[in-house]
Amino acid sequence: MNKKIAVIKGDGIGPEIVTEAEKVLDKVGEKFGHKFEYTDVLMGGCAIDATGVPLPQETIDTCLASDSVLLGAVGGPKWDTLPGNLRPEAGLLGIRGALKLFANIRPAKLIPALASACPLKEEITKNGLDLVIVRELIGGAYFGKRDTHVDENGVKHASDSMAYADYEVERICRVAFEMARKRRSKVHSVDKANVLDSSRLWREVAHKVAAEYPDVEFSDILVDNTAMQLVRNPAQFDVMVTENLFGDILSDEASMITGSLGMIPSASLGEGSLGLYEPIHGSAPDIAGQNKANPIATILSVAMMLRYSFDMAAEADAIEKAVDDVLNEGYRTGDIMSEGMKCVSCTEMGDLIAAKI
């Protein structure tokens, strides 16, 4: 098969980690007889430097004309003082919105070879930790009406409104229930229905969708309780579905408790097969350009691309197995290094994984 991939290398370590992911993808192409064509496009800080805006129209057009989008990471201190709508992060929100990617899939799994990096006590993780956060990505406070103004008394006000329509909740809940059916058949819908109107709507719609999936065990859980349960007993979760901001926060917590932020991929999906795939970590400007970054989250993001956008399950399995094998042989990048292991660079890690395909 021939697939067109729009590539947003982005800022900081973005270009380094994406290069390794392309290396692995090319190897998959060679082995399985596919051709992956890459078109580099600009977004984030590098786009601001080159064009004055974080998301040029040309980038949107190229992404829409591609079969999928691969993203490294965007942002850095250089652009931190720009106004909100001109920051690199605005480019990320813009592309999610422009491609209508409403479902963000963020797995958090304890990798046996890295279990010692998990900050939780063994008695808590002995039952495993393997959950997926399904985060609504183009609604809520991120996309609601916002306002900053100074009133007649000179007092400054700012607001962001967390707004949802029923159909937005319904479609993301469906993604979660479908996913649960392929996993352990359990969905937790996370909200703050004891306080927020938007959460009361969320809960009402979640229940309606749940009724269509009697085979899936379903419960509501408040977001503050969820944050607590994640460190108390993470094994109780299989699929968690939640609104944009709650999902942003909980997915950082979930990734941290696996002990391997540098290992976690993500997929952002819409109605069709076009998706955007990126590691969940940031652009790590402090180590950019030093060949030290961990490319595994980006490489695993490419595996998700093969699975979700291209329907290439065997190819995705091959990448995931290659990553496991390399870790089991004791190779580590600096961020996941531990005693007795072999520390390798970003390019070496890419080479090792590609060689296993």
Residues forming the site for ligand IPM (CB under 6 A)? 89, 92, 248
Give which of ligand IPM, Mg ion, none residue 89 binds (C-beta under 5 to 8 Å, depending on kind). Answer: ligand IPM
Residue closer to ligand IPM, measured from CB, 89 or 130: 89
**CA-wise closest residue to 305 among 321, 320, 294:** 320
User: Which residues are catalytically annotated?
Assistant: 142, 192, 224, 248, 252
Task: Give least dist CB 338 to ligand IPM, A.
Answer: 27
Instruction: Return the range that interacts with Mg ion (CB under 5 A); candidates 37-45, 121-129, 133-141, 246-254.
Output: 246-254
CA neighbours closer than 13 Å in the CB half-sphere of residue 96: 21
Task: Give least dist CB 282 to Mg ion, A.
Answer: 8
Cβ atoms of 218 and 209 within 8 Å: the answer is no
Residue closer to ligand IPM, measured from CB, 246 or 310: 246
* Total residues binding Mg ion (CB under 5 A): 1
Give which of Mg ion, ligand IPM, none residue 243 binds (C-beta under 5 to 8 Å, depending on kind). Answer: none
Residue closer to ligand IPM, measured from CB, 134 or 353: 134
Residue closer to ligand IPM, measured from CB, 101 or 312: 101
Between CA 210 and CA 231 the distance in angstroms is 26
Say whether residue 136 binds Mg ion (CB under 5 A).
no
Say whether residue 20 binds Mg ion (CB under 5 A).
no
* Site of tokens 């961990």: 294
Residue closer to ligand IPM, measured from CB, 92 or 322: 92
Task: Give least dist CB 89 to ligand IPM, A.
Answer: 4
Give which of Mg ion, ligand IPM, none residue 326 binds (C-beta under 5 to 8 Å, depending on kind). Answer: none
Among 16, 20, 67, 248, binds Mg ion (CB under 5 A): 248
**CA-wise closest residue to 255 among 232, 273, 231, 275:** 231
Task: Give least dist CB 32 to Mg ion, A.
Answer: 33
Task: Give least dist CB 70 to Mg ion, A.
Answer: 18
User: Could you tell me whether strands 275-279 and 68-73 are parallel, antiparallel, or unpaired per DSSP bridges?
Assistant: parallel
Instruction: Quote the tokens at residue 132.
Output: 């997926």
Instruction: Quote the tokens at residue 255.
Output: 């990734």
- Positions in the binding site for Mg ion (CB under 5 A): 248
